[in-house]
Copies of this chain bind each other. A is one copy, B any other.
């Protein structure tokens, strides 16, 4: 069964997503080590549950894409201070706090191939440690002593939370259309990517035009990244993803493949989607049936096409920035992210 990802390069030799992540990591290696140090020291607490839960989250194989975006955006414009490290750590901690709360809300059991904190320690602990991580993220931002960055990042935290609430409201709602779904993606994913790149740019002292282009790059990359995630929940392989394929389906999440599939369903197929998504009544074979409809109607293929169009916009955003290694690595990352299989 092909859902449009069969051609994704898997060889370590061909250019691929992991290669692009590694290239950016090599460029930001020293800064990233400083980010990790900041995160570890901010998670230190005599209340042992805090470093335990935070350590589990932070060491569980995240690719650190968001903090690398902040670091690269600052270096791209020649920044040579160290406040970008604090901002990058803050961005990663906001992301981490969001994941802890997300897993409680979604009752997820697996993330990146490991048991989630809510399963190991409990929901209460995940809520409170999430709050702690979130607070520490704000402390780090404040430590960077830049009020404009603080405005951007605090506003972004509100947008993310608003997006999460909106997603909860759209869940199981089969009337959700492309525009509504895109506003969920913009808020819950793209806003933090955009804030990550924009705050790196601001701290570097670049021009307003350059700052805006970095904001736009982050936003477009974030949308592309999320749409591929959505596609992989239907088209990926569990061993590659490190999470359970079909999670979104089981939770009744209205992601883009489902939005497309429902819009293109024949009249007598609408009852299938109403039952499995709106009513949440799912039987053996329903996920396979959903994948069949998606393949027949190009729902996943078109989700990937949509992701690719946002990726193209992100790449053209970088043309406003200086042409250097950071810019090239940021372009390569976007290019490879839309052909990834995990």
A residues with CB within 8 A of B? 45, 47-50, 98, 101, 104-105, 123-125, 127-129, 131-132, 134-136, 138-139, 141-143, 145, 147, 150-151, 154-155, 157-158, 160-162, 164-166, 168-169
For A105, the chain B residues whose CB sits under 8 A away are 124, 127-128
For A134, the chain B residues whose CB sits under 8 A away are 131, 134, 157, 161
Are A168 and B125 within 8 A (Cβ)?
yes
Q: Name A97's closest neighbour in chain B (CB-CB).
A: B131
- Check A49/B154 contact, CB under 8 A, given A128-B164, A161-B135: no
Nearest CB of chain B from residue A83's CB, rounded to whole Å = 13
For A123, the chain B residues whose CB sits under 8 A away are 123
Nearest CB of chain B from residue A163's CB, rounded to whole Å = 9
Partner of A165, one of B98, B129, B161: B129
16 A-B pairs, CB-CB below 8 angstroms? A45-B165, A48-B169, A49-B168, A49-B169, A101-B127, A101-B128, A105-B128, A123-B123, A128-B161, A131-B134, A135-B161, A136-B158, A138-B157, A139-B154, A142-B151, A145-B147
For A147, the chain B residues whose CB sits under 8 A away are 142, 145, 147
Partner of A158, one of B98, B124, B139, B145: B139
Q: Name A146's closest neighbour in chain B (CB-CB).
A: B147
A98 to B134, CA, bound (A): 13
Nearest CB of chain B from residue A295's CB, rounded to whole Å = 32
> What are the nearest 8 A-B pairs in CB distance?
A132-B161, A135-B157, A135-B158, A131-B161, A138-B154, A105-B124, A139-B154, A142-B150
Nearest CB of chain B from residue A273's CB, rounded to whole Å = 23
For A50, the chain B residues whose CB sits under 8 A away are 162, 165
- Check A101/B131 contact, CB under 8 A, given A150-B142, A154-B142, A157-B138: yes
For A98, the chain B residues whose CB sits under 8 A away are 131
A72 to B138, CA, bound (A): 26
Are B49 and A165 within 8 A (Cβ)?
yes
**Other A-B pairs, 5, CB within 8 Å; known A131-B164, A145-B147:** A45-B165, A50-B165, A105-B127, A136-B158, A138-B154
Are B135 and A165 within 8 A (Cβ)?
no
Partner of A128, one of B132, B150, B157, B168: B168
For A48, the chain B residues whose CB sits under 8 A away are 169
